[in-house]
Amino acid sequence: MDEPVLLTGAGGRVGQAILRGIGDDYEWRLLDREPLPAAKVPDRVTDADRYVADITDERAVREAMEGVGAVIHLAGDPRKTAPWDSVLRNNIDGTQVVMRAAVDAGVEKFAFASSNHAVGGYETDDRTPDLYRTDDDYRLDGTEPPRPGNLYGVSKATGEALGRLYHDEHGMSVVCVRIGNLTRDHPPREYERGQAMWLSHRDCAHLFDRCLRADYGYEVVYGISNNDRRYYSLERAREALGYAPADNSANYTFEGEPKEGAATEDGGTDPAVAEAPPAEPNFPSDPDTPTDGA
C-alpha cells in the first residue's frame, strides 16, 4: 500500500502489538488522545504524522484522514464495565466520526476493532464452561447476529452495523475484527475463557497486516490465535483475509508456561534452550496487562 495507514488508539495494547509487529512495513499516521512517548512510536514516523486528538473531534479526525489509503480504528473506551455515556461518546459517536471521515476522504479499506463482548451473550450458563474446552465443537463463525454481554459489547455491535452501512452505501471495504484476549508472550494464566480466545501479539500484528493487504467487501471475523480450545471459528479470517495464525494456547500449560518441545510466541521450542525474544529498543520492555476488553 502506497498511501499512509491511519491508526487510531495507537498507544493502546492492540495498537502497540500492531506497531511492534508491522511498524516498519507501512507509512503510518498515529492518532491518540494523549501524546505518544517516543518509545511507542516506530522510528520512521515523524512528528507531523502524530496526531493528538479525540476521535469525536471531527475537524482533527478529518485532518489526520487526509490522503490515507486505509484505517485501523482501535480508539475508544476499552472497559467492559464502561457506562453508557462513555460508550456512546467514545465508541459509537467516535466511530461514526471516523468512518464518515474515511468515506469522505475516499479511504479504500477500514479495519474496525470489534470485540468478543459483541457476542458474549452466547456464553450461556448451559454452554459454559464446556464451551471453553477442546472436546466441545460449538463454534461462532461471524454469521451469527450480535448478542452483546454488556454495554461495551453493544457499542462494538453498533460499530459493526456502521461498517455495514458505509460498505453498502459507499463501497468502502470494511472488516470488523472481534478481538479475543490479547496478551504478550503467553496466554492468560489459569483462565479457561482467556485461553480459548487468546490472541498473541504476533498473530494480532499478522491479522491486521492481512486486513491491510487482502481484498474484501464487508467481513466479520474473529481475532484469536489457533487455539485448540477455541469456540470462535477462524475459517472466515483464513478465507477472506489469508490469516494464518502461528500460536496456540495448547502449547502452554494452564499456568501459562511453555510446554517442552512446543513452538511458542517467542520463537523457542524447548523452554530450557529457547532464546530470549529479540530486543525491541523502540518499545517499553514491561509486558502488557492481559485484557479481554478489546
Q: Report DSSP letters for 99-150, one per residue.
A: HHHHHHTT-SEEEEEEEGGGGGGGS-TTTTTGGGSTT----B-S-SPP--SS
pLDDT of residue 261: 78
Range of the domain at 105: 5-251
260 inside domain: no
C-beta of residue 280 within 8 angstroms of C-beta of residue 20? yes
Grid cell 521450542 is found at: 269
Pairwise CA distance, residues 45 & 1, whole Å: 16
259 inside domain: no
280 inside domain: no
Average pLDDT per run of 10 along the chain, which is 294 residues long?
94 98 97 96 95 98 98 97 97 98 98 98 97 96 97 98 98 98 96 97 98 98 97 98 98 94 65 32 34 51
Q: Which residues are annotated as a binding site for NAD(+)?
A: 90, 115, 152, 156
Pairwise CA distance, residues 294 & 153, whole Å: 10
In a 3-state reduction of DSSP, which class is residue 278? coil
Grid cell 475537524 is found at: 59
Grid cell 509487529 is found at: 21
66 inside domain: yes
Q: Which of 51, 132, 152, 232 is catalytic?
A: 152
pLDDT of residue 264: 80
Residue partners of 291: CB distance under 8 A and separation at least 6: 13, 78, 181, 182, 183
pLDDT of residue 266: 67
241 inside domain: yes
204 inside domain: yes
Q: Structural domain tally of the chain?
A: 1
272 inside domain: no
Q: Which residues are annotated as a binding site?
A: 90, 115, 152, 156
Tell me the pLDDT tens digit for each residue of 258-282: 998 777 876 554 333 233 333 332 2
Cα angle at 194 between 176 and 224, to 5 degrees? 35
Take residue 14 and report the three cell numbers written for it: 492492540
Other beta carbons less than 10 A from residue 53's beta carbon: 17
pLDDT of residue 52: 98
Residue partners of 220: CB distance under 8 A and separation at least 6: 114, 142, 143, 160, 175, 176, 178, 236
Residue 37, domain CATH: 3.40.50.720
User: Is position 152 annotated as part of the catalytic site?
Assistant: yes
224 inside domain: yes
Tell me the pLDDT tens digit for each residue of 229-249: 999 999 999 999 999 999 999
